[in-house]
Amino acid sequence: MAVSAKARSSAFLERASVEARFHDVDPVYAETRDIRTLGFVLFLLADCILFSSFIFAYLYLRTSAPVWPPVVDGKQIEHLDVAFGAMNSIVLFGSGVTMHFALESWKNLKKAAFNFWIVLTIALGLGFLSGQAHEYLSAPMTWTGSSFGASFFTLTGLHGFHVFAGVVFLTVLAIQANRGVYTGSKYFGLVAGTLYWHFVDVIWVLLFFLFYLW
């Protein structure tokens, strides 16, 4: 789906003419959209703090532990399965890419393409969640066993909850888009959904590194 710059600019011109024909661009909307975008980005920043607090807790406990991964009942917990983690991460990053295509196709007023990509994104999101469920079932430690389990399950659980909320968010967006709530020029909901989805990907980049690769 790589689009060359020239093709992109023609699409841009075409879209601008479409918007002009629509005449429904309310002058206030540009203002409202900027306000909502700033509000949503600040919300994502606040969410970052939530994860960084738990990451601080994980780092604090890990650096003050005599040995890592910690010993429980005389046995040292073995490391997490990196291969499965890598595959699961790719599923989530893939859904980030497909979501980006979804928004691009909506901007280019290709509703069919939008539906295809957003459904694919939701599917990949659910795939990641099932991967996480498998990871939890086969995890070498329990939530209450040690500080490693406490940090791992709390952080990835919180992230999993955010992914689940994202899937619900995207499903609602897909339904609303098809119901015509969003037009060619007024689609802030979709922008917010994409930003949120990319945010959830980036949080996983950090968690993947902290728990699997370090």
**Binding positions for other proteins, 171-210, rule CB under 8 A:** 191, 194-195, 198-199, 201-202, 204-205, 208-209
CB atoms within 10 A of CB 183: 14
Q: Is 117 in the site for other proteins (CB under 8 A)?
A: no
Could you give phi then psi for residue 35, rounded to 5 degrees?
Answer: -60, -45
Q: Is 133 in the site for other proteins (CB under 8 A)?
A: no
For other proteins, give the closer residue by CB, 65 or 113: 65
How many angstroms separate the CA atoms of 82 and 209, rounded?
A: 10
Q: Is 135 in the site for other proteins (CB under 8 A)?
A: no
How many angstroms separate the CA atoms of 27 and 17, rounded?
A: 17
18, 25, 61, 120: residue in contact with other proteins (rule CB under 8 A): 61
- In whole angstroms, the minimum distance from the beta carbon of 172 to other proteins comes to 17
- In whole angstroms, the minimum distance from the beta carbon of 71 to other proteins comes to 4
- In whole angstroms, the minimum distance from the beta carbon of 19 to other proteins comes to 16
Residues numbered 137-176 forming contacts with other proteins, rule: CB under 8 A = 143-151, 153-154
Residues 6+ apart with CB under 8 A from 185: 19, 22, 24, 25, 29
25, 97, 123, 181: residue in contact with other proteins (rule CB under 8 A): 97
DSSP H helical segments within 108-187, as ranges? 111-137, 147-179
Q: Positive or negative, the Cα torsion across 114, 115, 121, 124?
A: negative
The residues facing 76 across adjacent strands are 71
For other proteins, give the closer residue by CB, 153 or 182: 153
